[in-house]
Structure 1
């Protein structure tokens, strides 16, 4: 909410400009007036406190922030999930570590075409030989860490060669990671990964604070194959029913 508030200038909503402004965009009190709520209450919502905003209030805030459909759904998910996230925190104030696993039935569905399954933090949980062929640096790792799509895209120079349209792909990957991070406030996995990406990539450092969000979608991707040159691959994404944050991505056979 803060990131979106800072994108709206006073002139955009009919307010006078002021030379005294020390922060970009609208002030909290200005946003609160435009949305029809108290400044203190709006501040609590923006800070993620347990104030349980109604659908009407969320809609008013979303209208004022000029959120798109995906951003509105994300705001609602954050509001609905906040109380549950707080209840899941242990008395010590930390959550137990999460290790994602893939149901044994899922790998059996991975077709001969390039395919892989990603988890909440963009870890690549399972992949087939075709994915290793088309995205070699992604899955052929020499260290003990799981392959991670975001880490490969931003920190491995080979990704910029393999992905013809690297910038748009990278922005999409980071936006999906940002979306999942918003659903897991306080989760150390996301904090560590974001810090690593921002430390190693100027683009990730610049884009992360923008709070762009996105979901998986069908589309196409241009890649450079080691021996076949530049190819355009259509792809589709499928959510695993028993683990909604795990996504099976399948590319069309080239």
Structure 2
């Protein structure tokens, strides 16, 4: 016979109950005499004491992804608990091993793809090559993605270290300049990428490459290139960029860095050296 257990369902979706339980578990884990104090979580969240008390009580308050991630880190939540926290607040699973610079819930499904790449770097960029989101592998390989407003074009053309990272750096710049030409043709001169180009053209080498020819390139999908990264002790590795355009977000690019296994002449990243 069916029994009305609606109260159990209410408990299962009660954020306050979870937060109190997580604070209790964290306090025990840290060897405290009681639950982790609310003040500790409040400080980690970067919000006011009143805000956190309202948040834990279930009172509607404003928050973003970074706030929830900070709370999850403070509470030492595992992947399942993080997912629960995000589902009960934002209605979407938590990003695991993914950093999202643009706090747009509509991008969440794309971040799941980044997460599922495991040891293979992946990122989302915008129409100006700004990095919108990236997975842990991308951050391991390319720490510059943690910079404020990271941008692939800026890194390749304006960061001195990039000239050693990209084997055949000038050829890479030629391709990037060709893509910028096409972007300017589509969107005009008053765009972030056009302004970045002007900054890059102050470098004599890049200016000479710009003046070399008027080639245009739509994208680097399928492009095979060689890198020398500190993550791999500057040893050469080969990669292929696979570029996808989400139909719901045509201004974004989902880029997966891939490589084949056992292909002659192709230097596969030695992921085993890093416990991957």
TM class, shorter-length = 0.5 to 0.7
- Cα distance in 1, alignment partners of residues 156 and 175 from structure 2: 11
Checking the alignment, whether the CA contact within 8 Å between 1:120 and 1:177 is kept in structure 2 is no
- Cα distance in 2, alignment partners of residues 100 and 187 from structure 1: 25
Summarize the Cα distance change of 1:242–1:121 in structure 2 as closer, same or farther, 3 Å threshold: same
Give 3-state SS (helix, strand or coil) of 1:236's partner. Answer: strand
CA drift at 1:238: 0.8
Deviations 1:63-118 (A, max 9, x none): xxxxxxxxxxxxxxxxxxxxxxxxxxxxxxxxxxxx99672221111122111112
Summarize the Cα distance change of 1:103–1:159 in structure 2 as closer, same or farther, 3 Å threshold: same
2:201 to 191, 198, 202: 198
Deviates more, 1:119-128 or 1:101-110: 101-110
- Cα distance in 1, alignment partners of residues 255 and 194 from structure 2: 25
- What TM-score results when the alignment is normalised by the length of structure 2? 0.50
1:158 aligns with 2:164: no
Checking the alignment, whether the CA contact within 8 Å between 2:224 and 2:241 is kept in structure 1 is yes
- What TM-score results when the alignment is normalised by the length of structure 1? 0.54
- Counting only pairs closer than 5 Å after superposition, residues 112-131 of structure 1 correspond to structure 2 as 112=118, 113-131=120-138
1:236 match: 242
Structure 1: unaligned runs, 5 residues or longer = 1-98
Give 3-state SS (helix, strand or coil) of 1:160's partner. Answer: helix
1:246 aligns with 2:252: yes
Larger radius of gyration: 2
Structure 2: unaligned runs, 5 residues or longer = 1-101, 260-268, 270-276
1:109 match: 113
Deviations 1:96-143 (A, max 9, x none): xxx996722211111221111121111111111111222233x132xx
Summarize the Cα distance change of 1:237–1:104 in structure 2 as closer, same or farther, 3 Å threshold: same
Give 3-state SS (helix, strand or coil) of 2:179's partner. Answer: helix
1:212 match: 215
- Counting only pairs closer than 5 Å after superposition, residues 90-109 of structure 1 correspond to structure 2 as 103-109=107-113
CA drift at 1:204: 2.7
Summarize the Cα distance change of 1:185–1:227 in structure 2 as closer, same or farther, 3 Å threshold: closer
C-alpha RMSD of matched pairs (Å): 2.3
- Cα distance in 2, alignment partners of residues 212 and 243 from structure 1: 27
Summarize the Cα distance change of 1:186–1:171 in structure 2 as closer, same or farther, 3 Å threshold: closer
CA drift at 1:183: 0.5
Checking the alignment, whether the CA contact within 8 Å between 2:141 and 2:231 is kept in structure 1 is no
CA drift at 1:190: 3.3
- Cα distance in 2, alignment partners of residues 195 and 114 from structure 1: 29
- Cα distance in 2, alignment partners of residues 205 and 174 from structure 1: 10
Deviates more, 1:105-114 or 1:203-212: 203-212
1:179 to 176, 182, 186: 182
CA drift at 1:170: 1.6
Runs of 4+ aligned structure 1 residues displaced above 6 Å come to: 99-102
Checking the alignment, whether the CA contact within 8 Å between 1:134 and 1:225 is kept in structure 2 is yes
